[in-house]
Structure 1
Amino acid sequence: MSSPPGSAAISSAITNMRKNDLYVSFAVTPPSGIRSREIFAGEARDDPTLQVVAEGDDGVTISGMKMLATGAAFADEVWIGNLTPIDDKRAGESITCALPVNTPGVSFWAREPYERHARHEADYPLSFRFDETDTVLVCDLVKVPWERVFLHNNGAMSRRIYIETPANCYQNHQSNVRFWTKMGLIVGLASRMCQANGVDRIPAVRETLGRLAALEATVGGLVNGQIEAYEPWPDSYATPNRRIMYATLNWCQEHHTEIIDALRTLAGAAPLQMPASIDLVADPELKDRFERWWRTSSMPALDRLKLYKLVWDLIGSEFAGRHMLYERFYAGNSIIVRNQSDREAPWETFHATVDGLLERVQTPNSSQ
């Protein structure tokens, strides 16, 4: 029986992706809440976790589900792998490979796109342009040739290929940069919203805006710290500092909810006072009434409508709700994220500081 080509297959796949400018989505986590057979003891059901169910001279056959292939509806190929630890009993789940999305037996089960209900960009500015389709990858007896199999029957290595290479670091450094950019949007929007309400000079409001600005500067400092303290790893390459990168992931995960809550507090009920749709401007009578009653001394009515529709898409719409989940879980739950920091922490250095101090502490001589 043939064996997987491993690193040669990965190199060949990456070369093909680069040469042909392929868009590749990835699914690297097991289905949430339905993974363990033990939970459903006594029930006649298939194990839904994606795994190898057969192998032969021409390759392997896989079946099951993987999460969460963002953007897979637009992808050329999907990368299948594992970011979560797998023990030896589940070696069949360690399969790491890449497949064209039109491979027989491959399907993607997507949630409803939020932009379908955004008739006009002005009504849902973010949903209209930036919604990412989240999909569950389902493989039903899918044949994978050996030349597309990168790893098989090695649970530990299926995760190590991410954390013991720069792959996970580069991916999440980009996520940190994205969050920093998002913070700039949030802080700017908070300030503009307070100006529109005429409350931007109230001391308590300035204090809140100052705190948001400080949080934005903090994540910016963490991003720059990853670059300034880069690691020469692997040889001849520069990789963002792993410790600071994982610490930034934890910081973003811990602070996103309170940041959005601060924006929601500043907004108050103003977004709910806006008309349902920008369609009203097509009716001269409604438009005139709207412009007379919804404007303020600092902002015309139509500009206020666009502003608060943007605010709502960050704090209250389905798009906003999806982002609350995304920012909390895209890098894994908090246990996984903090375990990354635990793994990268220089515990021996920390312990040496404590031990060195204790060694210098004098104790009284025992009396004779």
Structure 2
Amino acid sequence: MRSITATIGIVAALVLCGVSAAMNYLFLSSLGKTPLEGHVLGAASASADVLKALLPVFIAWSWQSRRFVAAAAGSLAFAFFAGFSLVSAIGFAADNRGVLIQARDDISGEYIRVQDMRTYADVQRKALPAHRAGDIVTQEIERHRQNRRWKSTNACTDATEELSRDYCAAYFSLRAELSSAEEAERLTSEIKSLDAQLARLRAQGAGQDSDPQVSLLSRITGEEKEAVRLALIIAVALLVEIGASLGLFLASGHGRAGKVGPIPEKEPASTGSVEDFALEALEPSSGVLTPGAVAAAYDAWCRDQGYRALPPEAFKAAFRDLALEAGIESRNGSFQRIAVAAPAFKQAA
């Protein structure tokens, strides 16, 4: 289970490293004066980003090898690369968020412009004189032209008599009515087209908040929108850069000392031999040792040798038996003509 989790973590860290490298490449390449210079700057930024992800591992190796100068130099390089990468990521996030907001503002501005055009067209249509449908007026004009006065007035260009003038006045009224009908049809068609544009712009988000996340957080926190927007941009950059900087180091287990695996059980220490203690820690002398001093020296000897000491009563009984076998004289409970040999055991005694 641990290996699966570590593998998933390494994959996620590599993805973040790729995202960070791409962000830095795209941002820095945009600063080149020519395409070639842009590619050079982008490649340098992406390479530094990859090295940034590996530096924590190199620093850990140097520290474990007690190469402290290399670890310190690597730490300085990591701090510089991480700071530079963070600045690039902030620039990339700010640029993208700014473009997105500007695009939404442009759509909303276009929506307002089209809506004004639609309102103006509707006002023009309503201001037209009353008229019948264009086909009806056209037929009426054709019927009017069948009158004998059409020829006598030379198509209403030479009306001299009163009846002829009345006839031509009616004809021109029909022409005006036809113009109104045609203009109404044009405006109606234009309004339908503008309505379609408005519907398309609304589907693209026109008329809505250009940055709803910032607006909501601004209302919740009471902060200005610009401050909230800046905080979000920095948060996005930190999300990517922290994961890209330390994710691979932590997921690969370099944050833990030693090899990953179950902790082996410590073997129980063997019991310190009273005979070995007497041979190694005691020597002939003109002095006297009390049972307490002998027991303290034995405890110190066991600690020094990595043995488990016998319980006090068991040691005293075992040492009395050994003293009898070795001919060590005991008087008033103390042992005669022996002393502790090692200085550390003497101090303990």
TM-score above 0.5 = no
Name the one with the larger strand percent: 1
**Structure 1 length as normaliser, TM-score?**
0.22
Structure of larger gyration radius: 2
Larger RCO: 1 or 2 (CA < 8 Å, sep 6+)? 2
Name the one with the larger helix percent: 2
